Amino acid sequence: MKKKTYKTIDLDVYEETLDCGLQVFICPMDRHDVLAKMTTHYGSGIISFKPHLKDKFTEIPLGTAHFLEHKMFAKEDGSDIMSIFQMNGASSNAYTSNHVTSYYFESPNKFLENLKALLDLVTKPYYTDENVEKEMGIIDQEIKAGFDNPYEAIYHTTMLNVFKTLPYRYPVAGYTDSIKDITPTVLYDCYNTFYHPSNMSLTITGNVNPKETIKFIKEYYDNLDYSNRPNIEIKKYDEPDEVYKKEETIYKEVTNNIIENGYKVSFKNIDIDLPKAFAYISIYLNIKFGGISKFNKDVYEDKNILGPISFWKDLYDDYLFIDFSTEVIEVKDIFERIYNNLNDKEFSMEDFDLFYKNALKEIVMMSDSVGQMNSLIDYQIRMFGKVLYDYYDIYKGLNYKECVQFINSLDFSNNTRTIVTKK
């Protein structure tokens, strides 16, 4: 194992890549609980690829990654993995995103028993016509409930209108029609391609002994044959810089109007490192739309706007997606206000220093949370392909002048506007 250290926050992380290719990251923390998360770098955004040991590209039904997540809990011997976690005092769950699928547990005791259950969960697939058909009804209801929910419906519509060719535009769970085409063969093709340990990472944070843990994991995988690694080939898409559709209204039984404003920002030719770029965009968005921003104060005083303007961001291939949403009595000029505030790129050094120092404070505070540290490590692996042990120093090295130059280089003009209103 290699021992690395998150600088300034003084947390050690023990790294090891097993012979099977699995990347393991263990961060001992003097806390009561331990959290373990197994992540495969396969999410709903992958729908066309060459399956392992096959020569041709195949396009799988929308929602397959999410369906596969559900079916990983089915075992040939009939064992109930969730019950094992519960009997061992652990809380456990799984989720699928556009980018990854993750399985995790958190528990104050019986760590190795729970870790074995987690490894069993991701290494022993069992798909049959019968259990796939049974799951189809469950997921069908989940999809319908999602589209009935106005907040999920507006998000699905926004994503569909932001992107033209990238599969991130489709709902993670797919559609009721698309999941009907999922078969055991489709699931095994996806599992054998993307659930090989060389495409996965295991992140463990909390009250754990690194040497004992890595020994246990190695012995587990020594009994399995993962010598035939897949050469993963995923279809590339030619995505335009412009949004696919600029505006759409959908109708639901809602009390107030819900609005969502999605911005598509090209990151193709940025001239600084991605971690620093993301740091600057985070600071800028907080200056403009954060809890103590002038914009948020104006929103609070506006009786037409029924809550703060919430926002989040993520990277989809070469594009930064920024999403704003809120509820309003009347739509009026809300989209223009968001647009003008985002594109008014003036901000002072005092503004920058305030949010820059707050970001440094938040990084230090993460070291007190088993969950936040686990999420940070997992997120950095997905975003940057490695753990950024100089994460604090990256933020420490930011400066106002470079931030201004970077923000001014970005095009915040491409956006789509979605409204949910009464019929």
Give per-residue pLDDT as tens, 44-86. Answer: 999 999 999 999 999 999 999 999 999 999 999 888 899 999 9
In this prediction, residue 9 carries a pLDDT of 87
Q: Are 44 and 66 in contact (CB under 8 A)?
A: yes
Task: Quote the tokens at residue 184.
Answer: 């055991």
> For residues 84 and 75, what is the distance between their CA atoms, to the nearest angstrom?
13
| pTM to 2 decimal places | 0.95
Residue 418 confidence (pLDDT): 98
2-222, CATH topology level: Cytochrome Bc1 Complex; Chain A, domain 1 (3.30.830)
Q: Is residue 415 very low, low, confident or very high in pLDDT (cuts 50, 70, 90)? A: very high
What does the DSSP assignment read for 184-211? Answer: HHHHHHHHHHH-SGGGEEEEEEES--HH
Confidence of residue 6 (pLDDT cuts 50, 70, 90): very high
Fold of 247-421: Cytochrome Bc1 Complex; Chain A, domain 1 (3.30.830)
Distances (CA, A) of 356 to 341, 360, 410: 20, 6, 20
For the chain, what are the domain ranges?
2-222, 247-421
Q: Which of 69, 106, 135, 260 is catalytic?
A: 69
Q: Categorize the per-residue pLDDT at 27 as very low, low, confident or very high, splitting at 50, 70 and 90.
A: very high
Q: Which residues of 221-248 are buried (b: 16+ CB within 10 A; e: fewer)?
A: beeeeeeeebebeeeeeebeeebbeeee
Active-site residue flag, 69: yes
User: Which position has the token pair 């999403």?
Assistant: 323
Tell me the pLDDT tens digit for each residue of 196-212: 999 999 999 999 999 99
Q: Mean pLDDT score of the chain, rounded to an integer?
A: 96
pLDDT tens-digit map of 83-102: 999 999 999 999 999 999 99
Q: Report pLDDT digits (tens) over 259-294.
A: 999 999 999 999 999 999 999 999 999 999 998 899
Identify whether the C-beta of residue 234 lies closer than 8 Å to the C-beta of residue 167: no
Q: Sheet holding 415-421: strands in order across?
A: 247-251, 415-421, 257-266, 319-328, 310-316
pLDDT digits (tens, 9 = 90+) for 314-365: 999 999 999 999 999 999 999 999 999 999 999 999 999 999 999 999 999 9
Whether the domain at 2-222 and the domain at 247-421 fall into the same CATH topology: yes
Cα 184 to Cα 71: distance, rounded to the nearest angstrom: 10
